[in-house]
Amino acid sequence: MGVIPVKWGQIKSETVENMTQINQDRLIQHFIDLVKIDSESRNELAMSQEIAEQLGALGFSVKKLEVPAEISNGFNVYAKLPGTLPGSVLISAHMDTVTPGNNIEPIIEDGVIRSKGDTILGGDDKSGISALVEAVRSIQEQSLAHQSIEVAFTVHEEGGLHGSKNFEMEHIESNSAIVLDSGGPIGTIITSAPGQQNLKVTIKGRPAHAGLAPEEGINALYVASDAISNMTLARIDEETTANIGVVKGGQATNIVMPELYIEAEARSLDDAKLAKQVAHMEETFQAAAQKHGAEVEIVSTRAYNAYKIVDSDEHVESIKQSFSAVGIEPQTKSTGGGSDANIFNSKGLKTVNLSTGMAKVHTTEEYITVEDMVSITRFLKQHLTH
């Protein structure tokens, strides 16, 4: 099979066996249509409007939930489709993408969907949205009984989980949720994810002429270097990491650097370990500042909390059974990244994160396979109808 531009109709559903009557052509075309909608973080208006309209056409009652203007020009989408089977589950995905995510031109080659190479693809996270919509379409076409289905599609997930942090939880009736926003083999169930603490550090030294009187200055970079050289960073243990990610400072080569700004983070699956690492980083900055006669200001904020759900939990077990029922081997694992699942769990909604098969996300080499998209859709159809 050669390269196929944006239309998917040339490849027939019969090429993949036992897809439990998922309309593969429609699923992939829908995904292609969505990734062509520009929706970089904070600019999700067109995407949120499109998704709200599509859910309404499927019979969902839809609520457009406003968010602060500095978060997005779009809105969070809540929707509900009552079912006739016992139970209710919330399915969630985010509508934004990282940059470069405008003017995406998707290409299908040998069963793999990617961009033409100068943008991301947007499978993170439009693959999750497409899977949910196609699962519901298939359920309705076959007049299958289903659980009540709630949907939470969020804005500005990338770079801070802002949409879920501002999601109006009072609309949600389900006791459990599935976020479709991870990579790895289909069947991967993320049952634990780390908490993250962000540090914004400003080191204030003293300016001086670098050529005439450097000894009269206090170089903020020297202070930062001393601190970082004495700091435990990168992989701390199997549950904990830390990183210095942003460094800004300096005015000219002939001025002793008077001020330096640093952004850092620490993550851990264990709250006590996270607190210990953050304290270590703060204390090391403070000790270096005191040693060199500088000042240091540290703003420490929690980005999100860790979550951990045991494998024997009823919600996890039901997801495992649904994967097994469609011939997919489930596996639970932890991750080093955060997602909307962290926020929903912190708000009391038991939530796991599932892989949609997305790969090399946040890069121009991002891709997803047709087979994986069909498989996660088959899982959703199974799970929602049992």
* Residue range 180-225, pLDDT digits in tens: 999 999 999 999 999 999 999 999 999 999 999 999 999 999 999 9
Question: Does the pLDDT value for residue 87 go beyond 70?
Answer: yes
Q: Do residue 110 and residue 12 come from a single domain?
A: yes
- What would the mean pLDDT of 161-168 be, rounded to a whole number? 98
- What would the mean pLDDT of 118-144 be, rounded to a whole number? 98
What is residue 159's predicted lDDT score, i.e. its pLDDT?
87
Question: Does the pLDDT value for residue 19 go beyond 60?
Answer: no
Question: Does the pLDDT value for residue 384 go beyond 70?
Answer: yes
Question: What is the domain range of residue 218?
Answer: 195-304
Q: Over the chain, what is the mean pLDDT? A: 95
Pairing, β 295-304 against β 307-308: unpaired
Q: Do residue 184 and residue 35 come from a single domain?
A: yes
Please state the domain count of the chain.
2
| CATH number where 189 lies | 3.40.630.10
Judge residue 212's burial from the number of C-beta atoms within 10 Å of its C-beta, 0-12 exposed, 13-18 middle, 19 or more buried. exposed
- Rounded to whole angstroms, what are the CA distances from 359 to 22, 94, 367? 22, 16, 5
More confident residue, 13 or 256: 256
Q: Do residue 11 and residue 123 come from a single domain?
A: yes
- Hey, what are 305's tokens? 């909390």
Q: Do residue 45 and residue 102 come from a single domain?
A: yes
What is residue 351's predicted lDDT score, i.e. its pLDDT?
98
Residue that terminates a domain, selected from 265, 282, 304:
304
Question: Does the pLDDT value for residue 327 go beyond 50?
Answer: yes
What is residue 20's predicted lDDT score, i.e. its pLDDT?
61
Catalytic residues: 96, 157
Q: Do residue 241 and residue 322 come from a single domain?
A: no
Question: Does the pLDDT value for residue 124 go beyond 90?
Answer: yes
Could you tell me the pTM of the whole model? 0.90
What is residue 21's predicted lDDT score, i.e. its pLDDT?
84
